[in-house]
Amino acid sequence: MANYKKIGTLQVEEGLYDFLHEEVFVNIDLHYNKFWDDFSDLVSELTPINDELLKERDQLQSAINNWHVANPTFSQQQYKQFLERIGYLEEEPEKVKVTTDNVDDEVTVAGPQLVVPVNNARYAINAANARWGSLYDALYGTDVISESDGAEIRSNYNPIRGEKVVAFGRSLLDQFLPLEKGSHHNVTDYHIRGEALIFTLENGGSASLKDPSLFRGYLGNKENPTSILFRHHGLHIELVRDEKDPIGSRDKANVKDIILEAALTTIIDCEDSVAAVDAEDKQEVYRNWLGLMNGHLKASFKKNGSTIERHLHEDREYIGLRNDRFILKGRSLLFIRNVGHLMTTDAILDETGKPIYEGILDTVVTSLIALHSMNGKEKYANSELGSIYIVKPKMHGPKEVAFSNTLFNRIEDILGLTRHTIKIGVMDEERRTSLNLKACIKQVKERIVFVNTGFLDRTGDEIHTSMLAGPVQRKNDMKHTEWIKAYESSNVYAALSCGFPKIAQIGKGMWAAPDRMKAMLEEKVVHPLSGATTAWVPSPTAAILHALHYHQVDVSKVQEQLLAKTELFSYRDELLKIPIMTEKLLAKESIQQELNNNVQGILGYVVRWVNQGIGCSKVLDVHNVGLMEDRATLRISSQHIANWLHHGVCTKEEVYDTFKNMAKVVDQQNQLDASYEPMANNEANSIAFQTACKLVFEGHKQPNGYTEPILHEGRKAKKEEII
């Protein structure tokens, strides 16, 4: 049982209260008595509005369910008219122009966006530091470089693989930083003459850059620079030279690495990659965010036999072309993703003794903590321009976005911040938001800094919303359906038509296969090609490799072309095409294969969530490919089976048997984890197993198909069992 401190009309869990008073209300210009009074008022005022918004979600969903039952013969036109009638489809505003100011450069330059669970300090610091990363390491350690012809990854350095890496790197330099004659493959030395960089070539000749303005600075001396800095498409590339280094000494120009500016922005996640179910967990979440904001976060861990102390990287200093010194930020610009409007938390109880909305708590506390990066007393400032960046997920339609805007306004008043200091990233990941996107943007046009296609949640919502329309397509076929193509395009078009270029990011979704980097390099270029200025990656290595796409594609040019041909037309009709299975009957084996795949993912993810409190995992699929699983991918898998069950594509017994069979597989996959508790043969007592089943068997009843309520219940029960 949690213990609470009464303060005003609120009751605050003691640990959280002490954390706020001892660690947060220090070094900031805010009196806590007034803060608590204001916070109590905020909760009283906004709770009923939040309640109403959730009620409206449920009402719309039941109206849609009833309509499908009453209209078994589907007419697209009637469906659309019905959605307009119930207010699900709102009138599209004519003209919306975003006017957000004090937006940091990292937001306006096109580049990768990394996401990391906030409660993993080791990863979170790594993510903040992933602004810069080694291209050679990213190539050497991944499948981008093939292991053929003696180039396999070994326990010690493989020089054949190393040569392939260097050759790959030099070919990239030829693409991004071409010489007026010759190739980077033949460069043996570098000198600086005046403001120009001169490349010595193998044949004894010399060359300069085709576009000399790309050369920006150096380190060392002009005759023998140890670092050479370029900027291309707004992103930096640094050649690092060292004749004594094992790699540098082998290289004909003593280049030991190519460092790329990679994760310009990082989303520190309190939401779908995190399992935080009570005040104790929320404290950990907020403490790490505090450490990132005041710059003091540290992590100590053992790796390859040695102890590593990880902390935030310093800024980087270079010599400019006129011998001036300049600094580049050493860390990514951090956004914080709060939870959505759905869940409540008993970390704080309101005047009636009820848990308050977690989304409200997150916005209040994460903004409060961000003051530590703005007080001028710490070594690092997250935003050079004094902005706070919050990502708000899972909002359904303009009214919910307007509610977030009200919440942000109220918090700015409580914290004494200028209006619109708190920026918002709007996840376009619920169907009602995609369909009314311009109206959503309008609600936050003075503070919006991104829209992002969270296609994973969006797929879950697609399935849940049309649960009664019929059996949906197989999960992997969903990627090729009409609605999803329309969704990806309409998101870019809506943002462009609202004036996003040079003000706000147009973002694309996660690459959810962290080990398939070759495939990512081949495929994820579609994001900048579509006019998006950023896209999510799961790891620093992926950020480095995805950065290459922003060198390949000049996104600002793509956006200009798209804008020139707009007539920005409406995609609503395509967006409303429900992804119903086209086959009349699927073969038994195909159904079983689909169930195996989904159930394996569900169990593999849920068992760590419930038993270990891990909110994001790499889980093997049926083809043994490690996939990033989080709550959004869980929403898809659980809703998918719930849908097939509802329409009799499979039976409850078949699904339950699949759960039992897959439990054995997942146990096997985790056998090296000493803290793992097997599920097979213990199904009835395994809270994890029961939670996973419940997500499916009670899936159609879950609010918008969300997994949070059942996951939280399971994790809380497990925590009690452990105590």
Ligand X SMILES: CC(=O)SCCNC(=O)CCNC(=O)[C@H](O)C(C)(C)COP(=O)(O)OP(=O)(O)OC[C@H]1O[C@@H](n2cnc3c(N)ncnc32)[C@H](O)[C@@H]1OP(=O)(O)O
Which residues sit at the interface with ligand X, rule CB under 6 A?
A: 114-117, 122-123, 126-127, 269, 272-273, 303, 454, 456, 510, 514, 538-540, 616-618, 628, 630, 632
Tokens of 316: 């980087």
- Among ligand X, ligand LL5AMS7Z, Mg ion, none, the one that 455 touches (CB under a kind-dependent 5 to 8 A) is ligand LL5AMS7Z
The reply to whether 430 sits near Mg ion by the rule CB under 5 A is no
CA 441 – CA 397 distance, rounded (Å):
10
Bridge-based pairing state of the strands 299-303 and 306-310? antiparallel
Q: Which of 106, 362, 429, 629 binds Mg ion (CB under 5 A)?
A: 429
Among 45-53, 229-237, 457-465, 540-548, the segment contacting Mg ion (CB under 5 A): 457-465
- Cβ burial 567-578 (10 Å sphere, 16+ → b, else e): ebeebbebbbeb
Residue 607 makes CB contacts below 8 A (sequence gap 6+) with 666, 670, 676, 677, 679, 688, 689, 692
- Taking the complex as a whole, the smallest distance from the CB of residue 522 to Mg ion amounts, in Å, to 25
Is 435 annotated as contributing to ligand binding?
Answer: no
Residue 455 binds to ligand LL5AMS7Z (criterion: CB under 6 A): yes
- Does 562 carry a binding-site annotation? no
Alpha carbon 559 to its chain centroid, in Å, reads 23
Site size toward ligand LL5AMS7Z, by CB under 6 A = 11
The answer to whether 636 touches 705, Cβ cutoff 8 Å, is: no
**Alpha-carbon gap, residue 82 to 466, rounded angstroms:** 14
**What amino acid positions are annotated as catalytic residues?**
337, 630
Nearest approach, Cβ of 119 to Mg ion (angstroms)?
17
Footprint on residues 521-540 left by Mg ion (CB under 5 A) = none
Q: Which residue has the tokens 């080694």?
A: 134
Nearest approach, Cβ of residue 457 and Mg ion (Å)? 3
Beta-bridge mates of residue 12: 5, 348
Answer yes or no whether residue 632 interacts with ligand LL5AMS7Z by CB under 6 A.
yes
Distance CA 200, CA 206 (A): 4
Buried-state track 390-405, b at ≥16 Cβ within 10 A, e below 16? bbbbbbbbbbbbbbbb
Helices (H) and strands (E) in the chain, counts: 24, 26
Residues in contact with ligand LL5AMS7Z, shown as a per-residue x/- string from 510 to 549 under the rule CB under 6 A: x---------------------------------------
Of 457, 462, 667, 708, the one binding Mg ion (CB under 5 A) is 457
Which residue, judged by CB position, is nearest to ligand LL5AMS7Z in the bound state?
454
List all residues 6 or more positions away from 184 whose beta carbon is below 8 Å from its beta carbon.
Answer: 170, 171, 173, 174, 177, 199
528 Cβ partners below 8 Å, 6+ apart?
Answer: 110, 535, 549, 550, 552, 553, 555, 558
Q: Is 362 annotated as a binding residue?
A: no
Nearer to ligand X, 182 or 295 (CB): 295
Among 117, 501, 509, 604, interactor with ligand LL5AMS7Z by CB under 6 A: 509
269: phi then psi, degrees, rounded to nearest 5: -100, 125
Q: Is 131 annotated as a binding residue?
A: no
| CA–CA distance, 167 with 146 (Å, rounded to integer) | 13
Nearer to ligand LL5AMS7Z, 509 or 615 (CB): 509
One character per residue 363-402, x = contact with ligand LL5AMS7Z (rule: CB under 6 A): ------------------------------x---------
CB of 301 to ligand X, least distance (A): 7
Q: CB of 458: closest distance to Mg ion in angstroms?
A: 8
Give me the least distance between CB of 390 and ligand X, in Å please: 15
Buried b (16+ CB within 10 A) or exposed e, 338-375: bbbbbbbbbbbbbeeeeebbbbbbbbbbbbbbbbbbbe
Pick 123 or 215: Cβ nearer ligand X = 123
Contact of 166 with 173, CB cutoff 8 Å = no
Is 429 annotated as belonging to a binding site? yes
Closer to ligand LL5AMS7Z by CB, 233 or 458: give it.
458
Are 130 and 114 contacting, i.e. CB atoms less than 8 angstroms apart? yes
Residue nearest to Mg ion (CB): 457
675 known ligand binder: no
Query: Would you list which residues are annotated within the binding site for glyoxylate?
Result: 337, 429, 454-457
Query: Would you list which residues are annotated within the binding site for Mg(2+)?
Result: 429, 457
Query: Would you list which residues are annotated within the binding site?
Result: 115, 122-123, 273, 310, 337, 429, 454-457, 538
